Amino acid sequence: MKYFVFLLLQALLTMHIVVAQQRVVITPAYPEHGQQVTITYDPTIAGAGIPAADSPVTVVFSYSNFYNQPWRMPMQRSGHKWTTSFVLANYSTFATFYLESGTATDKPAKDRHYEIAVYNNKVPVRDVSLYKGYSMSAQMGKSPLLAAKQAALYKAELRRYPDNYEAKLRLLAYEISNAPTEKAKAAFRAQAHQVIADRFNAAPTNSGNLNKVTMGYLIIGEKSRLDSIRQVVRERYPDSAPGRELVTEAMAKGKDTARQIAFFEQELKKETADNTGSFTGMHEVLFRYYATAKDSNKALYHARFLTGEKEDPYRGPTWQRVAQTLLDNNLALDTARYYAQKALDSVTNFPVGVIRYFPETGYIYPAVDDSTRQAVIRKNSQHLASVLGWIAMKQGHIPEANRYMEAATGAEAGKETLDNVAAYYQQTNNKVGQTALAAFRQKHLLEKVARQRINRPAPSLASFVDMQGKPVSAALLKGKIVLIDFWATWCVPCMQEMPYLQKLYEQYQHHPDVVFMITNSGAKNTLADAQGWSGHKKYTFPVYYNTDPAVGDAFGFNIIPASYLINKAGNIQFSNIGFEGPELADKLKQQIDLLLAE
């Protein structure tokens, strides 16, 4: 009877997905690399999650290795239907998506998303089922059925491509996790070790292959093995490209500078036109060393090797780094200007977004809208203007330096850039410039805060307890502006932000409308960990503990620290993810004051 019910539910789910797929049509049915794919959505078909009158409609990729496509892709209306098209790059394999319009969404089922697989003569290309397995966590969340569903897909991948290394290890990791006995666990782990060893021995000096090897150990949960693999490559293959890079990294960590320099100078005698790329790390160390030692001839000699002839997204940032190092050491300022100008001239090619690199594909650039790209260009241009201003000042060209600093003080300028400008005005005793910059920074921060404002209902705080384990009183929070900051005892950035939170708390601790909740997120921590935290002796802000392991999903964060401002109506108005340095206190203050003024 149970089996019959299960089959009935499966049949109903299949019927539901088939109907949903009539709402969404993907053409061609078996898309191949280089072909244009078109997604068509008809919201007039029964069961549509988005009302026909709603607009606009957006394709939201929940999982995708279509890296050159945006994660959110707007659709265009064509009659009562919506369409969008794009071309599959030669590395495209698999993607899942759902449709969104405002708060409405359309999915084929509650725990399923639409999908696009890439084919070759109607046969799924390599990794389709593997990536489909990866996509299931975005579709099924923390469902207890997730792991088994993924394992079934890894098996499907191996039936089609029996040599798929990653699928083998994913399946073995599942078997290790679900083995009924320690003996069985050990047997599966031994199989995984053999798969990884075979991969390593196939090409021990190939960087791409070594990335697969280290990934393999991470898949089976043996991160500690990574150092041993690196040691093997370093000791057995020191003259290979990855071996030389690992040797350089290990040697650079030492404290005997004289020994380091002598070693690198000796190793550089092995450099040729064919292997020069593997010596870049050594040139980098020697450049910094000789710049600090004020040896301009040797510093500039090694700087020449830090970028190659081929275009890559990191040439400009490297030229900027060289210019900054020379400037910091007051060395070869004409050359520092030259490198800073080269960086400025190439600023349109600076990295924007996540740039991936695979040996088989080269650099893969992400889809970035024009406004974002232009903002990044302006930000980098303004920073380089501040660097050129400092160089001009040190060379005695004050009018020129002033013009550079004026150009650096723009809407996209980052904190480092504005700090450069502030230090310049202080160095030149420019009181007018200091006053104007202070006003600009205040206005800049207010505008930034205003742009970041959101408005969504705050999740329940019923899972929060105080340090005695007592639930937080709802009356404490009613009608208050609440600052919640999530942290954990093991989180280094969380500890770095605590002094700034204390400084902020001291400004509002007696304000009747503001409540601080510095909350241990519970991530790898217990209430006892929170109670025993050494910060209780340093800080006076109130500390709480969260008992809900899914609090990150409820609030929308997956890294800490993470802070949220909730207004008096109980809606989240601001979120701040990650540690932002000293700017954090000013930013949070602006957010609190903005809410208090309403």
Q: Which domain holds residue 142?
A: 2-160
The residue type found at 518 is I
pLDDT at 18: 46
Token pair of 333 as six digits = 């300022």
Cα–Cα dist 299/301, whole Å: 5
Phi, psi of 269 (to 5 degrees): -70, -15
Cα–Cα dist 18/114, whole Å: 11
CATH code for the domain of 567: 3.40.30.10
Same domain, 10 and 154: yes
Quick check: is 251 in a domain? no
Quick check: is 274 in a domain? no
CATH code for the domain of 400: 1.25.40
pLDDT per residue as tens, the chain (598 positions): 443 444 444 444 444 444 455 899 999 999 999 999 999 999 999 889 999 988 899 999 999 999 999 999 999 999 999 999 999 999 999 999 999 998 899 999 988 999 999 999 999 999 999 999 999 999 998 899 999 999 999 999 999 999 999 999 999 999 999 999 999 999 999 999 999 999 999 999 999 999 999 999 999 999 999 999 999 999 999 999 999 999 999 999 988 999 999 999 999 999 999 999 999 999 999 999 999 999 999 999 999 999 877 778 999 999 999 999 999 999 999 999 999 999 999 999 999 888 888 888 889 998 888 888 998 999 999 999 999 999 999 999 999 999 999 999 988 888 899 999 999 999 999 999 999 998 988 887 777 777 788 899 999 999 999 999 999 988 889 999 999 999 999 999 999 999 999 999 999 999 999 999 999 998 888 999 999 999 999 999 999 999 998 888 889 888 899 999 999 999 999 998 888 777 788 889 989 998 998 8
Same domain, 97 and 147: yes
Quick check: is 172 in a domain? yes
Residues 6+ apart with CB under 8 A from 200: 209, 210, 213, 229
Residue 207 · residue 244 · CB < 8 Å? no
Phi, psi of 503 (to 5 degrees): -60, -40
Please identify, among 160, 194, 228, the residue that sits at the C-terminal boundary of a domain. Answer: 160
Same domain, 230 and 347: no
Residue 264 · residue 245 · CB < 8 Å? no
Question: Total domain count for the chain?
Answer: 4
Quick check: is 311 in a domain? yes
Same domain, 387 and 504: no
Between the alpha carbon of residue 232 and those of residues 228, 235, 237, 240, 285, the distances in Å are: 6, 5, 8, 12, 23
Quick check: is 110 in a domain? yes
Give the number of other Cβ atoms within 10 Å of residue 27's Cβ.
14
CATH code for the domain of 109: 2.60.40.10
pLDDT at 2: 41
Same domain, 401 and 417: yes
Quick check: is 170 in a domain? yes
Residue 556 · residue 474 · CB < 8 Å? no
pTM of the predicted model as reported, rounded to 2 decimal places: 0.78
Cα–Cα dist 389/403, whole Å: 8
What DSSP letter does each residue of 236-254 carry, written as one string? H-TTSHHHHHHHHHHHHT-
Please identify, among 160, 189, 217, the residue that sits at the C-terminal boundary of a domain. Answer: 160
Phi, psi of 167 (to 5 degrees): -65, -40
Same domain, 479 and 337: no
Please identify, among 389, 419, 449, the residue that sits at the C-terminal boundary of a domain. Answer: 449
Same domain, 415 and 478: no
pLDDT at 354: 84
Cα–Cα dist 281/286, whole Å: 9
Same domain, 348 and 445: yes
Quick check: is 367 in a domain? yes
What DSSP letter does each residue of 116-150 carry, written as one string? EE-EETTEEPTTHHHHHHHHHHHHHTT-TTHHHHH
Q: How far is CA 4 from the centre of its chain?
A: 46
Buried/exposed 38-55: b ≥16 CB within 10 Å, e otherwise:
ebbbebeeeebbbeeeee
Give the number of other Cβ atoms within 10 Å of residue 311's Cβ.
9
pLDDT at 21: 56
pLDDT at 20: 58
Token pair of 586 as six digits = 């000013």
Same domain, 185 and 150: no
Token pair of 504 as six digits = 């902020």
Quick check: is 290 in a domain? no
Q: What is the DSSP letter of 517?
A: E
Same domain, 185 and 131: no
Residue 69 · residue 86 · CB < 8 Å? yes
Same domain, 439 and 505: no
Same domain, 140 and 116: yes
